[in-house]
Structure 1
Amino acid sequence: MQPLEVDQIRASFVNCSRGEAKTVTVPGEVPWADRDFLGWRDPKAPARAYLVLPYEGEVIGLALRAAPPARSRVSSNMCAFCSTTHRVSDISLFSGRRAGKLGREGNTLGTYICANLACSRYVRREIQPEIPQPNEWLTLEERIERLEDKVHRFVARVLESR
């Protein structure tokens, strides 16, 4: 991912107001070269999360909300973006308003992803989840391509009515 300035990040949000975008706490140092998207949770409000990524020639930002951890009998779950299996407590349901008319009508879209939004790092195996992973024979390039495809599909669904 190409480095972005704070102003570019704030201007990229498509599912929140300009006023809301101005209040976003933007992360400091980012290892841009090893990221497929910029994802972070607001340290001042951990239920708020943000995704920013290149999408079809522009930079798109999504404001998301993390649901409280689920109480479940299931012990693990898989991230919809990076296909990493985690303990249930390390996966969160993130939802965000849809862009455009549907978002103004109150429609949201959600998906279960890594609670720390470190999908790029899991795909590159820079960090390991706490539970064993199923064997996977994809190359690094194939894992990155799969991650990008899944993130882009989510963004496309958010943007449908824009």
Structure 2
Amino acid sequence: MHVKPLTENEIRSSFVNASKREVSQASLPVLDGLDWERLEYLGWRDSKRPLGYAVVVIDDVPTGIILRAAPPPTALGGRRRSAICAWCEDPIETKDVSLYVAKRGGAAGRKGDTIGTLICTEFVCSSNVRRKPTFTELGSDDPTDRELFIERRIAGLTERSAKFVAAI
């Protein structure tokens, strides 16, 4: 299920783990030109702060979260390691994955409770799941098998991203 086109007001009102101040200060993506039919969720990064945002559809309701990006290991003196995004689970695009942490909604979030996961740093999961699978991944060159494989990856992304946001 893809995200239906959203307005700036719909995006701002969708956040479930943010204060009014955080919502008003949230940077919003450029909505013009987005291919909504090819987005299982709307995700973007703040260009000035270490924040990410995601709006996922849960029970036909757009549900937004604000995420804080952990500093990359290289910023901490370590070397950057490859990782698999927990949402798209793409085994090829593993270099640009970051730990994102979100405070929980409601009283739990006000107490400081958080939940984290590895997500593609630039929120490109929707294009990753549509990537032509390698022969090793698919075990076939059949176009029908390829379409079914991509459909399963899209469904998995939809399910995993919604499950994470629902846990918030």
- What TM-score range do you get, normalising by the shorter chain? 0.7 to 0.9
Cα distance in 1 for partners of 2:129, 2:22 equals: 31
Displacement of 1:58 in angstroms is 1.3
**TM value normalised by structure 2:** 0.82
Once structures 1 and 2 are overlaid, which stretch shifts more, 7-16 or 76-85? Answer: 76-85
Which of the pair has more CA radius of gyration? 2
Letter in 1 for 2:21: G
Q: Which of residues 49, 56, 62 is equivalent to 1:53? A: 56
Report what 1:27 is aligned to: 29
Alignment map for 1:101-120 (pairs within 5 Å): 101-120=107-126
| Residue 18 of structure 2: aligned partner | 16
Give percent identity, aligned residues only. Answer: 39
Counterpart position of 2:83:
77
Which aligned segments of 4 or more residues in structure 1 are displaced greater than 6 angstroms? none
Aligned-CA RMSD value: 2.1
- CA distance change for structure 1 residues 139 and 15 in 2, over 3 Å: closer, same or farther? same
TM-score by length of 1: 0.85
Tell me the equivalent position of 1:93. 99
1:152 aligns with 2:158: no
User: Residues of 2 paired with 1:81 and 1:111: CA distance?
Assistant: 9
- Residue segments in structure 1 that go unaligned for 5+ positions in a row: none
Identify unmatched segments of 5+ residues in structure 2: 139-147
1:143 pairs, out of 150, 153, 159, with 153
Between structures 1 and 2, the one with greater strand share = 1
Counterpart residue type for residue 26 of structure 1: L
